[in-house]
Amino acid sequence: MFGLARSSDLVKWSFKCLIITPDSIKGPVINAKEQRSGVVSILELTSLDDTNSQVCPVRHLATYLRASKGRRKPHSGDSVFIKNEGEPLQVNDINSIVLSTLSKSGIDIAKFKSHSTRSALASLLLSNNVPFHVVKKMGRWKSNDTVDTFYDKRIIGEKSGGFLNTVVQIS
């Protein structure tokens, strides 16, 4: 649910080609929308400053990679995200994890789907003064209008603070 990536991109993210630095983690992925043309894009997670460490995708992915290191098996393929048994996660697996998290957080999953986390996280980052160009780069959006229209949303109407605060839990 971090990094503004689509589930379909996450399952195609190459583990063997990851480049990990203190400031970013990046690697090739065949974007689902670009798959027919065979274009290889780079999915990059950019580190956020210390004031935003709770939502820093690099910090959280680095923790996951350390925790999953012993589970990786030669037959698990090239996927960054794996199951406990070492098998690669599929799109449905990631969507199920996201929907389960939303449901456990009190979110109506009849109204919000797994893709809703992209909008919530983009909105959260922007509301926490993460620069627009950083959020745009993390989401791999080509146009400012796309971010403005679909992803920079004010979440209102729920006593708990809405979808954004319930899912991300910033304190």
pLDDT value at position 171? 37
Which residues have a Cβ under 8 Å from the Cβ of 141 and sit 6 or more positions away?
147, 151
pLDDT at residue 95 is higher than 80: yes
CA distances from 41 to 8, 24, 137, 170 (A): 13, 16, 12, 31
Higher pLDDT, 67 or 13: 67
Domains in the chain: boundaries: 7-156
Q: Which CATH architecture has domain 7-156?
A: Orthogonal Bundle (1.10)
The model's confidence at residue 48, banded by pLDDT at 50, 70 and 90, is low
pLDDT value at position 98? 83
pLDDT value at position 50? 59
Task: Return d(Cα 28, Cα 127) in angstroms, integer.
Answer: 29
Residue 47 near residue 56 (C-beta atoms within 8 A): yes
pLDDT value at position 170? 41
pLDDT value at position 166? 47
Higher pLDDT, 36 or 128: 128
pLDDT value at position 157? 46
Q: What is the pLDDT of residues 131-157, one digit of tens each?
A: 888 888 777 777 888 877 777 666 444
